[in-house]
A and B are shown apart, each in its own frame.
Chain A
Amino acid sequence: MSALIILLLFGGGVAWLSERMGAQIPARVSLVVLLLASALFMALVRDVADTPVSLVSGANPWLLMETYTWIPRFGINVIFAMDGMSLLLVALTLLLGAVAVIASWTEIRIRSGFFQANLLWTLAGTVGVFLALDLFLFFLFWEVMLVPMYLLIAIWGHEDRARAAMKFFIFTQASGLLMLLAILITAVAYVDQTGQWSFAYEDWLAHPLTGMAAVWAFVGFLLAFLVKLPAFPVHSWLPDAHTQAPTAGSVILAGVLLKTGAYGLLRFGLPLFPDVAQAHAPFMLIIGVAGILYGAILAYAQTDFKRLVAYSSVSHMGFVILGIFAWNALAWSGAVLQMVAHGLSTAALFMVAGALQERLHTRNLSDMGGLWRAMPRMGAMAMFFIIASVGLPGLGNFMAEFLVMAGLWQAWPLICAVAALGLITGAVYSLWLLQQAFHGPLDEKNEGLRDFNARDMTALGVLVIGLLWLGLYPQPVLDLAAPTLDAIAQRVGG
């Protein structure tokens, strides 16, 4: 697994250097790097598939584990481990990474080498977050992936990029510091209990925190994760960052980076602080519902294509919060599925938005209209993904939201009913988006725009297949995540 991260980091360097051979080369290099990384990942996973026992037994949820000593002074080790949930998310990261490279194929002409390098480094950081099982290492990746993402927005972003990039970095950095504080509170408590330093997840599980320290530590973790998710009311960096980022940046932000927050909650927030987390569940559910409705209402009010999709992300990620804090395995599997499905559908929508911006030089919906006639392939794709994010049965997002609602209904029927309103508002803004951009009369100046080519269609086609698969036959994905979720359930009594 460390090889995977090293490959991405090293590939970033190669992509940067390859710029000297021509502005078009770096994108190719980074696509090759991502294909190599995927092959490596497949090889890792194939070993796992040969031993399906560990998948079923649930006694040891870790499919793979690597440990190296790093800083003995503080008992810090480099621990990478993969279970079903991180496997899914790493796969999503690599897939969307490739999509992002395709999205930047023609868009990025200036300093394309450094762009691709930052893209690959962000992906390396994200993969690190999904695999790290030492909290120090987790924090390191959590922070380090910000820097290349910041540069992506700050250098290649749109008109208001400076402010957006700054806001993104400060929100995440400040909440990250609180998480560092929380990590150290837990670590020092561990020292008090055992007399030695450790940041290893499994050590911490064996010596849970108690009392007020647990509450403070949980709040520290929670804030960092909620900012990343993002949850209402700490979401305000997201619309700016998503809107101003270049297409590939938006794809990675919405598709993968947001998931690190949810992943952190499921992996660390719940198992490390089961009692505190459960005590806060009602409050968190309200935050989730507020996010769903607030995001949906604001999405409807937007005139900017990317901003609308960004607010819809706030709304959809609200379902993930609901799924996590509904506190049963059904809802958790829904939350995991929602992470993947939302990643696929939103990445595709940002790709459409980026393609529109590249062709029309505007993201303003009122300048669009009737584009279906000019670009039928793009129109069809946009319709598919908009319908998917509305939650059409048979597609991944429906399956995910259904599971979340079903799980939530068992525990909190009232909240479930309110959250269901989000499905209606979701349909309203999504269809509004489709109608504004692609239906109605076509402006003359927009005639003869270049439609999606085979490269774009392949990238989106893969996402279409993914969403159909998640919608029609989600069982393999659910089976993958099940041991992880069972382990959490055993731990927190869900």
Chain B
Amino acid sequence: MAIKYFNTFDGSILTDKTAAGEEAVRSGRAIAINCPDNIESWRLKANLSTSEVIVYGGTGKTEAQALQQKADEGAAVAAVNKEKADLKMALTEKQEEERKALQATFNNLE
């Protein structure tokens, strides 16, 4: 375990350097939390209400597994976005068909 320092404004990691971190704690910009070893810094974030560390992917995952999880989550978000875009496109096409049908009706009336 080792002390790392996290920003008080959003819980993101600030530093693992003791002097810089302690100065930030003294000025109210950071909190210090004991963190598990051998976890890449990018995976660490503070829960500011409990002053506990959150490890992305959990401590049981390796770095490679955590990166894969991040990639999978990104792909899932992209899939949801694509679904939304497809729905919008489908709606646009449906509206276009309805417009054409109305136009045809109007033409027949003439």
Q: Do A and B come from one complex?
A: no
Residues of B within 8 A of A (CB): none
Residues of A within 8 A of B (CB): none
